[in-house]
């Protein structure tokens, strides 16, 4: 029983982690907290659905097309909606991301307002039994997809010159611009990249959650809790936070009360902000003056 709960917790946690990862990547590279990321995730899932189920493309092509579309949407949003206000107060940019969320959700509601659609699993095979643990192929894909993204972005930010440059440009944009770095170009690229991650996440998760215009809102809260728990802006922290929240939900739901599952993420946010404001892996920010 315990092993099954741990396995299911890791799957759920991976879902939260992959969304938290996208938001963390954007935060680290541009300094923007993306409150509309749940809607991007929803848009990615719907894009795959449209290309595979409506247009009739093969799944791999549909997936690639959806990622490409979301990358373009992310870049366009940055260029048209964010860049003109990026030097304003943080709250203005944050509100713009909220507006993006309403815009994308509204478009989805316009076309699919009456439907909760089923997204076929990527691999349609019977559940896999590992001892007493039951896992579906989709569960394994979610965990594997999450881990692959984490490793890729960790390597990108920690080991590549471009990754380090992006972080530096985010922290000191004026200095980066003075040495000839195209900071707005970097930012636009990162908006595209995180939108692409949203498409990947949507593709992995939609067969589990099903497709509907508001599907991203609920998971966004869990992703925020994961980021807060793990340490805001820390890639490993976002993933660790997501996994721990997934595990805790399952264990608390089984051993204490099922009513705890839904409020657990909120409890985490409250407790962490009071007891451990920088999260598990977060570092206290210090500014040299």
Partner 1 sequence: MKRMTAILAAALVAVANPAFAEPGVGEDTIRIGIFAPLTGSASIFGRAAFGAEAVYNEVNEKGGIHGRKIEVVREDDGCDAARAISAVRKLTAQDDVFLIHGGVCSGTVMAVRDDLERQNVPFVILGAASAGIVKPFKKNLFQPIPNSDVVATQMVDFAMSKPGTAKIALISHTDEWGETNSRVATEHLKKAYGLDISLKLALERSTTDATPQILQLRNAQPDFVLAMLYPAETALLVRDAHKFGMTTPILGNFGVSLEDTRDRVGDMAAMANFYTFYAYEPALSSAEIEPWTKMITKYFPDHRADTFSYEAMGGALAVIEALKQAGPDLTRDKFIAAMESIKDFQSGILNTPITFSADDHAGVNGGAMIAYRDGKPTVLKTWSE
Whose CA is closest to 27, among 129, 120, 113, 97?
Answer: 97
Q: Is residue 52 involved in binding partner 1 (CB under 8 A)? A: no
3-class DSSP state for residue 160?
Answer: coil
Which of 56, 114, 179, 275 touches partner 1 by CB under 8 A?
Answer: 114
Nearer to partner 1, 88 or 120 (CB): 120
Binding window for partner 1 (CB under 8 A); candidates: 81-89, 145-153, 256-264, 268-276: 256-264
Joined together, the tokens standing for residue 133 give 């643990």
Q: Is residue 259 involved in binding partner 1 (CB under 8 A)? A: yes
Which of 54, 151, 152, 218 touches partner 1 by CB under 8 A?
Answer: 218
- 48 alpha carbon, distance to own chain's centre: 17
Which of 58, 61, 109, 148 touches partner 1 by CB under 8 A?
Answer: 109
Is 5 in contact with 250 (CB distance < 8 Å)?
A: yes
Nearer to partner 1, 78 or 249 (CB): 249
Size of the site for partner 1 (CB under 8 A): 38
Q: How far is the CB of 171 from partner 1 (least distance, A)?
A: 35
Q: How far is CA 55 from CA 86, 108, 185, 217, in A?
A: 37, 17, 33, 27
Q: Residue 141 CB: number of other CB atoms within 10 A?
A: 19
Site for partner 1 in 2-31 (CB under 8 A): 4-5, 8, 11-12, 15
Joined together, the tokens standing for residue 80 give 């048209």
Binding window for partner 1 (CB under 8 A); candidates: 68-76, 149-157, 255-263, 272-280: 255-263
Which of 38, 44, 202, 213 touches partner 1 by CB under 8 A?
Answer: 213
Give me the sign of the Cα torsion angle 95, 97, 98, 99.
Answer: positive
What is the signed CA dihedral for 241, 245, 251, 252, rounded to 10 degrees?
Answer: 130
3-class DSSP state for residue 88?
Answer: coil
Q: Is residue 253 involved in binding partner 1 (CB under 8 A)? A: yes
| Alpha carbon distance 41, 43 (integer Å) | 5
Nearer to partner 1, 1 or 274 (CB): 1
Location of structure tokens 């380090």: 164
Nearer to partner 1, 108 or 235 (CB): 108
Q: Is residue 262 involved in binding partner 1 (CB under 8 A)? A: yes
Nearer to partner 1, 130 or 214 (CB): 214
Provide the 8-state DSSP code for 136.
-
Residues contacting residue 233 through CB under 8 Å, at least 6 positions apart: 24, 27, 28, 227, 282
Give me the sign of the Cα torsion angle 149, 155, 161, 164.
Answer: positive
Q: How far is the CB of 3 from partner 1 (least distance, A)?
A: 11
Q: Is residue 113 involved in binding partner 1 (CB under 8 A)? A: yes
Q: How far is the CB of 109 from partner 1 (least distance, A)?
A: 6
CA angle at 261 for the pair 278 and 244, rounded to the nearest 5°? 40
Q: Is residue 214 involved in binding partner 1 (CB under 8 A)? A: yes
Residues forming the site for partner 1 (CB under 8 A): 1, 4-5, 8, 11-12, 15, 109-110, 113-116, 118, 120, 127, 134, 136, 205, 208-210, 212-215, 217-219, 249-250, 253-254, 257-259, 261-262
């Amino acid at each position: 029983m315990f092993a099954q709960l741990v396995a299911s917790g890791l799957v759920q946690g991976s879902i939260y982690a992959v969304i938290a990862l996208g938001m963390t990547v954007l935060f680290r590279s541009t300094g923007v907290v993306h409150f509309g990321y749940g809607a991007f995730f929803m848009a990615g899932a719907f894009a795959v659905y449209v290309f595979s189920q409506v247009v009739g493309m093969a799944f791999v092509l549909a997936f690639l097309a959806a990622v490409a579309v979301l990358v373009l949407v992310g870049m366009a949003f940055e260029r048209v909606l964010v860049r003109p206000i990026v030097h304003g107060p943080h709250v203005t940019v944050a509100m713009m991301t909220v507006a993006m969320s309403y815009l994308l959700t509204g478009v989805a509601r316009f076309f699919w307002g009456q439907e909760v659609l089923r997204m076929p699993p990527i691999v349609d095979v019977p559940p896999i039994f590992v001892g007493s643990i039951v896992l579906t192929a989709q569960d394994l894909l979610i965990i594997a997809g999450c881990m692959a993204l984490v490793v890729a972005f960790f390597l990108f930010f920690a080991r590549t010159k471009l990754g380090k440059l992006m972080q530096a440009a985010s922290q000191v944009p004026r200095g980066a611009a003075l040495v000839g770095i195209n900071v707005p170009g970097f930012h636009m690229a990162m908006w595209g990249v995180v939108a692409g991650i949203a498409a990947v996440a949507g593709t992995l998760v939609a067969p589990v959650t099903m497709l509907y215009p508001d599907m991203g809102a609920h998971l966004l809260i869990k992703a925020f809790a994961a980021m807060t728990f793990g340490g805001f802006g820390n890639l490993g922290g976002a993933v660790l936070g997501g996994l721990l929240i997934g595990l805790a939900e399952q264990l608390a739901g089984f051993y204490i009360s099922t009513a705890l599952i839904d409020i657990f993420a909120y409890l985490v946010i409250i407790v962490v902000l009071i007891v451990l404001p920088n999260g598990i892996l977060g570092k206290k920010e210090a500014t040299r003056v």
